[in-house]
DNA sequence: TAGGCCATCTGGTCCT
DNA sequence: AGGACCAGATGGCCTA
């Protein structure tokens, strides 16, 4: 859109007009406040913009061609007075009928926009329910939900590729790529993993995570009942997961009993994560690599090719201040040792993984 | 109090 | 022409 805007010179005058308005709004604070007070009506059902606002004028100017009385009446619109004359379409005189029609149109548009955003939010809510760490009481933010969902998809696809369970540290690292530290803590806590541990467990040389390779039969009791387990309750510091009842998608992935949240009556869509237990995956997995996966593979190949001896440690990713600093997905390599364990992976998959990881 | 997140309004653009 | 989509602006709420 921006490209389109900047590539189309005919649109620039309007942009300039808008910029000028923005600047005016800074310099003429009182005037703008006044306009806003007219323009913004906080209540949902009272969103009738006041046509005295300059923005309302700019919208109205380009429509209602059927009005004959519309003239080059610069006096009214250019009434901001001493400023430079604005270019673009001539403003038309507002008649009460036009004002009314414009109000109506704007109300309808606002209502549609609200509905659209509500739909979007409900879709996001549904997404929250199928990514790890769903909680009714403490929702992930929109951006974190999207990031986590992306990582989750990536983690699942990696599982599909390898045909085996990843180790927990790798799994959590994948889930937490690019997430904020609070969300990282949530996800890690959700999986009963100290985020500091899994971050610092990254071997700087690209080696294995100490003690993270073991995939015994029951290494991860990730069930919601864990929230009441003595281990969880005896934690040194209070954890939000304990109070908010987070549950992990790892549960459903690897043998956890159904989490109560997934049976939420509010949720109407399909609730199962797309992967079944014991390697019987239900996701469609086509032979061709999807663009997203290909992109991911590219990231990983970049990562593995350029990383030798230079991979930043976790401390570089999350500074002591807790502020995330320039984290890149390439900086974390959750699956760097997966290609070493391919007992159950079909040979083509293994080859493909090798191609990705050693490119 | 600053910053993050969010809902809403708004105008521009594209599509049907 | 009208609706969908998008992005900027703004103010409210919450939290560290």
pLDDT in tens, A155-214: 999 899 888 877 888 888 888 888 888 888 877 777 766 655 555 544 333 333 333 333
Q: Who has greater pLDDT, A145 or A86?
A: A145
CA–CA distance, A232 with A327 (Å, rounded to integer): 30
Around Cβ A170, how many Cβ atoms within 10 Å?
26
Compute the distance between CA of residue A144 and CA of residue A142 in angstroms, rounded to an integer.
5
pLDDT of residue A195: 58
Assess whether A299 (CB) lies less than 7 A from strand B: no
Inform me whether the pLDDT recorded for A123 exceeds 80. Answer: yes
Residue A106: pLDDT over 70? yes
Q: Is strand C within 7 Å of residue A118 (CB)? A: no
Residues 141-160 of A with CB within 7 A of strand B:
141-144
Q: What is the pTM of this model?
A: 0.48
pLDDT reading at A60 higher than 60: no
Local confidence band at A79 (pLDDT 50, 70, 90 cut-offs): very low
Distance A113 CA to C4 C1' (A): 9
- In this prediction, residue A41 carries a pLDDT of 37
**Is the pLDDT confidence value at A356 over 50?**
no
The answer to whether residue A240 scores a pLDDT higher than 60 is no
The mean-pLDDT minimum among A176-180, A214-218, A288-292 falls in: A214-218
Distance A230 CA to B2 C1' (A): 39
Vertex A329 angle, CA A324 and A334, to 5°: 110
From the CA of A31 to the C1' of C10: give the distance in Å: 15
In terms of average pLDDT, the best of A14-28, A83-97, A305-319 is A83-97
Q: Hey, CA dihedral for A323, A329, A335, A336, is it positive or negative?
A: negative
| pLDDT value for A329 | 35
Q: What's the confidence (pLDDT) of residue A267?
A: 36
- Spell A78-106 as b/e; 16+ CB within 10 A means b: eebeeeeebeeeebbebeeebeeebbeeb
What stretches of chain A show up as alpha helix (H) in DSSP? 2-7, 12-27, 29-39, 54-60, 74-77, 96-130, 142-162, 168-175, 181-190, 195-200, 230-233, 240-244, 249-253, 291-306, 314-317, 347-357
**Token reading at A319:** 């500074």
Q: Tell me the CA–C1' distance in angstroms for A109 and B10.
A: 10
Say yes or no: Cβ of A40 under 7 A from any atom of strand B: yes
Q: How far apart are CA A340 and CA A189, in angstroms?
A: 27
Note the pLDDT of residue A102. Answer: 79
Query: What is the per-residue pLDDT for A259?
Result: 37
The DSSP output letter for A136 is S
pLDDT of res. A194: 60
The answer to whether A144 and A181 are in contact (CB under 8 A) is: no
User: What pLDDT, on the 0 to 100 scale, is given for residue A193?
Assistant: 67
Residue A92 CA to residue A224 CA, distance in Å, equals 64
Confidence of residue A291 (pLDDT cuts 50, 70, 90): very low
User: What's the confidence (pLDDT) of residue A253?
Assistant: 55
Q: What is the pLDDT of residue A141?
A: 85
A174 CA from B13 C1′ (Å): 38
The model's confidence at residue A112, banded by pLDDT at 50, 70 and 90, is confident
- Asked if residue A85 has pLDDT above 70, the reply is no
Sign of the alpha-carbon dihedral angle for A288, A294, A297, A301: positive
A113: Cβ under 7 Å from strand C? yes
pLDDT of residue A127 exceeding 70, the answer is: yes
Considering only residues A147 and A254, tell me which one the structure prediction assigns the higher pLDDT. A147
């Amino acid at each position: 859109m921006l490209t389109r805007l900047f590539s189309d010179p005919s649109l620039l005058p309007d942009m300039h007009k808008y910029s000028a308005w923005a600047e005016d709004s800074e310099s003429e604070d009182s005037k703008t406040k006044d306009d806003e007070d007219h323009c913004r009506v906080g209540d949902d059902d009272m969103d009738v913009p006041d046509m005295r606002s300059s923005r309302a004028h700019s919208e109205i100017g380009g429509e209602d061609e059927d009005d004959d009385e519309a003239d080059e009446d610069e006096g009214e619109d250019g009434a901001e007075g001493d400023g430079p004359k604005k270019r673009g379409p001539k403003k038309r005189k507002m008649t009460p009928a036009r004002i009314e029609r414009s109000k109506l149109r704007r109300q309808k548009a606002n209502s549609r926009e609200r509905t659209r955003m509500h739909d979007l939010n409900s879709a996001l809510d549904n997404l929250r329910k199928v990514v790890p760490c769903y909680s009714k009481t403490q929702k992930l933010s929109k951006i974190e939900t999207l990031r986590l969902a992306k990582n989750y998809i990536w983690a699942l696809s990696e599982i599909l590729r390898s045909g085996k369970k990843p180790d927990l540290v790798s799994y959590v690292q994948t889930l937490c790529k690019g997430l904020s530290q609070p969300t990282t803590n949530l996800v890690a806590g959700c999986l009963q993993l100290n985020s500091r541990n899994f971050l610092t467990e990254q071997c700087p040389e690209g080696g294995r995570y100490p003690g993270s390779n073991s995939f015994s039969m029951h290494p991860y009791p990730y069930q919601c009942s864990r929230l009441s387990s003595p281990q969880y309750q005896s934690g040194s510091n209070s954890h939000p997961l304990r109070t908010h009842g987070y549950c992990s998608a790892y549960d459903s992935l690897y043998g956890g009993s159904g989490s109560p949240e997934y049976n939420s009556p509010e949720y109407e869509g399909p609730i199962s994560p797309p992967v079944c237990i014991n390697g019987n995956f239900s996701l469609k997995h086509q032979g061709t690599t999807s663009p997203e996966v290909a992109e991911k593979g590219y990231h990983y190949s970049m990562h593995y090719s350029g990383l030798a001896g230079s991979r930043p440690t976790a401390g570089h990713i999350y500074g002591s201040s807790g502020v995330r600093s320039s984290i890149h997905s390439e900086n974390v390599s959750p699956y760097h040792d997966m290609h070493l364990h391919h007992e159950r992976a079909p040979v083509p998959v293994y080859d493909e993984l090798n191609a990705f990881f050693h490119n």
